[in-house]
Structure 1
């Protein structure tokens, strides 16, 4: 008996899962994830610098959104003149991220 066809994805702007987010402990760990995505031929949907974090966006095989990110240390978070948090969405410098030294095998697992 063949498997049933998968349901189509929900229409844009409807309810449902927006994305799953996976937090990496360091920028170097996120860089290693980016390298592995490249080796596997997985295309990014986007890459953003949010000031407080750097994030990679992609789709899983079922077309669910996946965010891979790391948080900058709090002392590096951008602040407004009155001391509030100044989050942003700017393009992530992927070449700069890839300049992070690769993790040792024991650190990556």
Structure 2
């Protein structure tokens, strides 16, 4: 058993979030971030995606309608990470957030990736990021990946849009 390694092609397929207000959650994920609505399950759940997939994010109020956000200092989801295909795509997402005056909680260069951090309307953490090409990832002397957290140059990122 201890020699087992999960297959390299394994991916995390989707997330399903409990939200207090479905319309408010759709305004964030669909209208601001740009996901497409795939289908509704009555008035209590919505499934959204990028590129026509059956769903990347499920949103529901089955156990959480009008509930307060989960406590910050409790076990649970830290954040959902949404991977953009290019640096320019991340820049466009950042510009949309800035244009909407949506609060950003952080922005970091991790060496392997660049990331923007924020919270959705239910205070679920959201990371918007892009990965640098693997051959650009910083490595330690032993060959392992060297990740770090440095401030992200937001102006430089926004320069990708020009």
Normalization by structure 1: what TM-score? 0.83
CA apart distance, 1:10: 2.9
Q: Distance in 1 between matches of 2:68 and 2:79?
A: 16
Q: 1:74 aligns with which of 119, 130, 134?
A: 134
For residue 88 of structure 2, the aligned residue among 28, 31, 50 is 28
In 1, Cα distance between the equivalents of 2:133 and 2:120? 29
Aligned residue number for residue 91 of structure 1? 151
CA distance in 2, matches of 1:42, 1:30: 15
Aligned mates of 2:92, 2:70 — CA distance in 1: 32
Gapped regions of structure 2 (runs ≥ 5): 1-20, 22-63
Task: Give the 3-state SS of the residue equivalent to 1:45 in structure 2.
Answer: strand
Q: Which has the higher contact order (CA 8 A, sep 6+)?
A: 1
1:107 is aligned to none
For 1:17 and 1:83, locate their aligned partners in 2 and report how far apart those are by CA, in whole Å: 31
Structure 2 distance, partners of 1:9, 1:37, is 21
1:32 CA drift (Å):
0.5
Q: State the superposition RMSD in angstroms.
A: 1.9
Give the CA deviation at 1:12.
3.0
Give the SS at the match of 1:87: coil
In the alignment, which residue of structure 1 is the partner of 2:72?
A: 12
Taking the aligned partners of 1:32 and 1:10, their CA distance within structure 2 comes to: 30
Q: CA deviation at 1:5?
A: 7.4
Equivalent residue pairs, number: 100
More displaced 10-residue stretch of structure 1: 77-86 or 5-14: 5-14
Inter-partner Cα distance in structure 2 for 1:82 and 1:92 = 26
Q: Distance between the aligned counterparts of 1:22 and 1:10, measured in 2? A: 21
Report the alpha carbon displacement of residue 85 of structure 1 after superposing the two structures with TM.
0.7
